[in-house]
Structure formats: C-alpha cells, structure tokens
Structure 1
Amino acid sequence: MRPSEQIALLWQDVDLRSGVVMVRRSRVLAKDKERTKTAVGREVELNTRALAVIERQRTRTQLAGGHVFRNPSTGKPWNDEQTQRRIWAAALAAAKVRYRPPKECRDTSVTLSLQAGADPVWVAKQHGHSLMVMMRDYAKWIPGADKGRNLDAINRAISANSAVESQYRNREKEKTLN
C-alpha cells in the first residue's frame, strides 16, 4: 500500500478472516480523500507478514475504532505522511542505515513478488499499478523468475489439446469404419 493509503486504512476495510483489506481512500496533506491516488479501489490479499502486522494492530487500535494505524505517541490517527517520514528517518539513522524513502518499501514488495514468480497482472493489481507502469518500471525483474512455470503451463495446454484432438480423430475413424 502507498503510505497515504496506509494512514487512511479503516478497520471497516479489513477482513481478517479472508486476509484482505479494501484500499479505497487516502490521506494527503492532512486531508482525507475518499479515493486512492489512481481513483481505483482495490482488494489487497495480505501475505503472512502483512496479516501478522494487522493482527498486532488489533490489540492497539481496533477497540478505538476508525483507523488501523495510529500515531503511537498521541494515539490519534496519523495527520500526514510527513510526520511518519520524520519518524522513519530517525529510526533509520538510529539503526545506522542509509536513508531511503518509505516508497522504496513498496518498490521492494513489487520486485520481490516478481522475482518470486508471481503473476505480473496480480502484482500490479495488488499494488495499485497499471500494467503499463508495471511493465515500464519493473519488467526487468520478471525474466527467469518463473523458473519454467510459464513454459510448463503452455506445454500442459498443448498436451491437453493434443489429447482432445487425438480422441476426436479416433472417433472419426470409428465412424468411418462403422
């Protein structure tokens, strides 16, 4: 999720049983928007780590209702991304890690998904990208990531087709002989 989508995430948009969240709003420059950056809502399937994070948040924020992620210092919803960014920068500095914008966590998620062989269409939908953006910005991570799965799928389809064609030819031969 984009940072602006994370800080706007409400508990009503979380389905822990199904392991999905509906991303349909954002918070930009301290203003709530009833839409995402692309104006297209999406259902995000949570991987095990993301689901664990949301589960941990339950004990912290669900009873308060409203926002899933709140500023731990104030207990209030995050006002904007800039406040989070300052805390992020301080945490990286304390860990002696070179600063990277929070957006790079999202880029890493896309890259790891593609390298793991996830379907690029699914990855694009999960991250709120268009296919054009996915192919332009991330296509270099796709080659070889499928480890032969795409070719195997094509070969299975060809084999299945060949079997059907063979059955059809055999039936036609039987009709001719009868």
Structure 2
Amino acid sequence: MRTGEIDGLQWKDIDFVNKTIKVKQALSRNELKELKTESSYRDIDLIDRVVDVLQEHKKSKHTTSTFVFVNSKGKPFCYPVVSRTIWYPTLDAAGLRHRNPYQTRHTYATLLLASGESPEWIAKQMGHSTTTMLFRVYSRFVPNLTRRDGSAFEHFLNNGGR
C-alpha cells in the first residue's frame, strides 16, 4: 500500500474472513481523501501471516479508533511523523542506511516478482492499471527476469515444463 493508504486504513476495510483489504481512501494532512486513479481503488489479497498479525494488532490496541494504525492518543498515524520518530531511528539502530519508507513498497513488488507471482496479480495488488510499470521499474532487480543466456528456458524444459 502507499503511505497515505496505510495511514487512512480503517478496520472496516479489512475483511478477515475473505483475507482482503479494500483500499478506498488515503489520509493526507489529517484529512481522508479520494485516491488519485481508478486503479488505486482495489482489493488487496492478504496472506495468512498478514491476517494473523493484523488480528493480533487489533487485539492489542486499547482504543476505539476506527483507524488501524494509531498513535498513543488514538489518532491515525501520519507518514512524516512516523518517518521521523520511528522509521529513521529504527534504521539507525539496525545500522542500515537511510531510505524512504516508501521503498518498502518497492521491496514488496520486487520480492513478489522474484518469488514467481503473476505480474498481473502483482500490478493489481500495487494499484497499477497494467504490468508496464512493474517491468520497467522492478525487473532489473529480479535475476530470474533479467537472464539473457537462455538458461532459464533450458531449466524449464529440463524440468518438464515446471
């Protein structure tokens, strides 16, 4: 999800039974706003691990906020504040170089591609209308997509098309 979509995520938009998140708004400058493009409105499929973490998170919160991610006062997270007070100090403590929190979105897309998920499904998850952006931006980071020696195809044939 994009940072504003995460900040604006509300519990009513998470379907724990069908394992989906309905993305239909973003929080920007403490105001819920419509999304910028039609393809940004989407249902995101959740893996079991994420469902479990979200359910645990919901149990641990002693708040009546409708928002999923809130501060100690029950107010929704704000991307610049989270970056400054949580993200960058965490990177410093881990000894990692600074990178924008938005990079986690790119990491997610790259890992999905590298693990062999369908590019069309990934594009839908990310809120892209086509796979064009996926291949233009991420394919160079995925070794299996950048071979140019025929070895991937040969491996495919040698393993009976698997």
Shorter chain as denominator, the TM-score bin is: 0.7 to 0.9
1:1-178 to 2 correspondences below 5 Å: 1-33=1-33, 35-39=34-38, 40-61=40-61, 64-71=64-71, 73-78=72-77, 80-86=78-84, 87-131=86-130, 132-140=132-140, 141=142, 143=145, 148=156, 152=161
CA shift digits 1:24-70 (9 cap, x unpaired): 1001233211x224343100011233223211221134861410111
**In 1, are the aligned partners of 2:26 and 2:35 still within 8 Å (CA)?**
yes
Shift of residue 118, structure 1, vs aligned partner: 0.4
Question: CA 1:58/1:15 → structure 2, altered by over 3 Å: closer, same or farther?
Answer: same
Identity of aligned pairs, percent? 32
- Which residue identity does 2:134 align to in structure 1? M
For the Cα contact (< 8 Å) 1:19–1:45, is it kept in 2?
Answer: yes
**Structure of larger gyration radius:** 1
More displaced stretch, 118-127 vs 58-67: 58-67
- SS of 1:152's partner is coil
Residues 61 and 68 in structure 1, CA contact (< 8 A), matched pair in contact too: no
Residues 65 and 121 (structure 1), Cα distance of their counterparts in 2 relative to 1, 3 Å cut: same
Conservation of the 8 A alpha-carbon contact between 2:65 and 2:75: no
Q: CA RMSD in A?
A: 2.6
Q: Which runs of 5+ in 1 are unaligned?
A: 154-178
- C-alpha distance 136-5 of structure 1, shift in aligned 2 (>3 A): same
Structure 2: gaps (5+ residues): none
- Which residue type is aligned with residue 139 of structure 2? A
Over 6 Å off, 4+ runs: 144-147
